[in-house]
Amino acid sequence: MRVLLYPFSVLYAIITNLRNLLFDMGVFPSKTFGIPIICIGNLSVGGTGKTPLTAYIISVLEGKNMAVISRGYGRNTSGYQEVRTESTAENVGDEPLWLKQRHPNCMVVVDENRKRGIENIIKNHPKIEVILLDDGFQHRRIKADFNLLITDYNLPYYKDFLLPMGTLRESKKGSERANIIVVSKAPKLLNPTEKKGIIQQLGVFITQQCYFSHIHYQDWICLTTNNILITNEKYSITLVTAIANATPLLEMLKNSGHTVTHIKYADHHHYTLNDMENILNNYRQDNSAKKLILTTEKDAVKLRKFENELGDANVYYAPIEVGFEEKENFEKQILNYVRSNKRNS
């Protein structure tokens, strides 16, 4: 079946390569803004961990006046909108809302026209010192001076193919635009020989830096009370996810000895009352003494509005954190870029 898609991938390659060439030649203009802009993106369609990395960088830049701009994928609104902690995922998108609730002091904006969004931020918020462009690697009408490209350890871009044959949105040559390449979801302690081989196959230039990151899940938090559950016991879990790739969470749970029934929805899915009924039916049919419903932190921002429907069910979410092998070097590179590129008045 994949072979049948090859001609379409070739056509897609011609179109995207021509587009990038026209930007490189200046035929298509890229606007430069007088403010540090850090772009966090990837070459593939979803699931590499862009938003958790964005949250990590917000923490690195704590103390700076910063703004995050996102498309707000999956929202039912359009145009420029500033995200509030009390916003809904339907209005602003689940990932921007998750970022705002995790970092309430950080400005989060959604706009499908990123250029317009940045112009509004600069015009209306003169104290903003740095802008993070979430999932903006292909938005070449914006000239970001610092690009972080993420690729999944389990499917790095050198093993992938262009759409529709694979998941790549542009060819691997696009990686040349990155200042930093992050291999996400890697094992915590990688063999140095394997690391070297991956870096070679990624085609990392001497002018680029490559870092390996991993994810880990923290103690589970109750959706309704915010109480922390220390997970030193084995549970029967109804796992509910609407994310691009739930495999790391699923594997962690199974490797920890939990019994898991996975109810999987499409990425950015907006939950309904029928969904709640389905989830609760699965949960109630479980006769285990220790049982609970577990979801992701991103899904939790959408499930909170169903607290009444969930009733006395034990519902928890698993916060996700990103870690780096060369943490100090990575953070220093980010901070040095921002310090060296002040906003023009």
Query: Is residue 284 a part of any domain in this protein?
Result: yes
CA-based nearest residue to 341, from 192, 60, 199, 145: 145
Claim to verify: residue 41 and residue 140 sit in the same structural domain: yes
Query: Is residue 82 a part of any domain in this protein?
Result: no
pLDDT tens for each residue of the chain, 345 residues long: 677 888 899 999 999 999 999 999 999 999 999 999 999 999 999 788 999 999 999 999 999 999 999 999 989 999 999 999 999 999 999 999 999 999 999 999 999 999 999 999 999 999 999 999 999 999 999 999 999 999 999 999 999 999 999 999 999 999 999 999 999 999 988 999 999 999 999 999 999 999 999 999 999 999 999 999 977 789 999 999 999 999 999 999 999 999 999 999 999 999 999 999 999 999 999 999 999 999 999 999 999 999 999 999 999 999 999 999 899 999 999 999 999 999 886
The answer for residues whose C-beta is within 8 angstroms of residue 65's C-beta and 6 or more apart is 107, 125, 127, 128, 129, 130
Claim to verify: residue 137 and residue 268 sit in the same structural domain: no
- Rounded to whole angstroms, the Cα distance separating 244 from 225 reads 27
The answer for residues whose C-beta is within 8 angstroms of residue 36's C-beta and 6 or more apart is 129, 130, 131, 145, 146, 337, 338, 341, 342, 343
Query: Is residue 79 a part of any domain in this protein?
Result: no
Claim to verify: residue 227 and residue 195 sit in the same structural domain: no
Query: Is residue 69 a part of any domain in this protein?
Result: no
**What is the token pair recorded at 316?**
């928890």
Query: Is residue 302 a part of any domain in this protein?
Result: yes
Claim to verify: residue 201 and residue 271 sit in the same structural domain: no
Claim to verify: residue 49 and residue 176 sit in the same structural domain: yes
Report the CATH number at residue 192: 3.40.50
Query: Is residue 262 a part of any domain in this protein?
Result: yes
Query: Is residue 143 a part of any domain in this protein?
Result: yes
Query: Is residue 77 a part of any domain in this protein?
Result: no
Claim to verify: residue 178 and residue 236 sit in the same structural domain: no
H helices of 179-224, in order, are: 192-202
Claim to verify: residue 210 and residue 302 sit in the same structural domain: no
Claim to verify: residue 232 and residue 312 sit in the same structural domain: yes
User: What is the span of the domain harbouring residue 57?
Assistant: 2-64+129-215+323-340
Claim to verify: residue 46 and residue 167 sit in the same structural domain: yes
Claim to verify: residue 196 and residue 298 sit in the same structural domain: no
Q: How many domains does the chain have?
A: 2
Claim to verify: residue 184 and residue 275 sit in the same structural domain: no
Claim to verify: residue 18 and residue 144 sit in the same structural domain: yes
